[in-house]
């Protein structure tokens, strides 16, 4: 399989997943109070939508940057990519579940928040598989990344996974706090870039 088919298939899955998020943005309609009241009542759905939309969008950007620099596509890469997509398509489900139970009291709210953070942790681990595969051998990338830069990128990327684990634990004490932590991770990855190439003048392929 060439890289173009891998990218096209992945982009399609990302697009479907990010579109499905909007299906949860509904209100009861006329006869169930004023529209303003209904919108206020459904604020968890809007919060969940924004967090999940940007998280999927950020992982899509990083996925695009990484795949664009891959020179070799083999079965291992394809299955690692499928694992990532497996988690991506589950995000609309956990988003809707979290939104439905966020303001509930008791165990359900805690489990919903933990499931939400846990799914993002799985997404991060799946992307880590792609990243490690690409960094394992220089021949797998069009422009290799120096060893020092690889280790630094690994450290920064792995650091971003820790808050998800914290959010899972915090979920059983406070569901809203867990969701806030999950949102902050998305902000972190806006600025954390996937290593796509060697810095100018410092590595092979420059």
196 within some domain? no
Q: Which domain holds residue 57?
A: 3-191
Segment 83-115, tens digit of pLDDT: 999 999 999 999 999 999 988 878 999 999 999
SS3 at position 65:
helix
Picking from 159, 155, 205, 206, the residue whose alpha carbon sits closest to that of residue 185 is 159
Residue written as token pair 């799985």 = 122
**Do the domain assignments include residue 160?**
yes
Q: How many angstroms separate the CA atoms of 159 and 188, rounded?
A: 10
Q: How many domains does the chain have?
A: 1
- Please give the biggest Cα pair distance in the chain: 66
* 66 part of a folded domain: yes
Q: Alpha-carbon distance 202 to 169, whole Å?
A: 41
Residue 31 is predicted with a pLDDT of: 62
DSSP secondary structure of 127-154:
HHHHHHHHHH-GGGBSS---HHHHHHHH
Is 106 a member of any domain? Answer: yes
pTM for this model (two decimals): 0.82
Looking from the CA of 28 toward its CB, the CA atoms found within 13 Å total: 12
Return d(Cα 108, Cα 205) in angstroms, integer: 52
> Is 206 within a domain?
no
Residue 2: strand, helix, or coil: coil
Q: Is residue 200 situated within a structural domain?
A: no
Whether 201 maps to a domain, the answer reads: no
With a cut of 70, which residues of the chain have pLDDT below it? Answer: 1, 27-29, 31-32, 41, 144-146, 192-206
Q: Report yes or no on 37 lying in a domain.
A: yes
């Amino acid at each position: 399989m060439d890289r173009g088919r891998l990218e096209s298939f992945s982009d399609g899955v990302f697009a479907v997943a990010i579109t499905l998020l909007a299906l949860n943005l509904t209100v009861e309609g006329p006869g169930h109070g004023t529209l303003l009241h209904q919108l206020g009542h459904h604020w968890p759905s809007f919060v969940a939508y924004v967090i999940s939309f940007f998280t999927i969008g950020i992982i899509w950007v990083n996925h695009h940057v990484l795949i664009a620099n891959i020179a070799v596509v083999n079965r291992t890469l394809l299955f690692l990519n499928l694992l990532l997509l497996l988690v991506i398509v589950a995000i609309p489900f956990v988003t809707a579940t979290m939104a439905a139970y966020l303001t509930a009291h008791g165990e359900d709210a805690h489990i919903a928040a933990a499931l939400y953070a846990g799914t993002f942790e799985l997404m991060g681990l799946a992307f880590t598989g792609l990243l490690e595969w690409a960094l394992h051998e220089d021949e797998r990338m069009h422009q290799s990344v120096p060893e020092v830069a690889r280790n630094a990128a690994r450290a920064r990327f792995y650091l971003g996974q820790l808050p998800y684990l914290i959010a899972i634990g915090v979920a059983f004490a406070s569901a809203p706090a867990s969701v806030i932590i999950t949102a902050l991770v998305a902000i972190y990855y806006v600025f954390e870039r996937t290593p796509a190439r060697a810095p100018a003048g410092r590595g092979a392929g420059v």
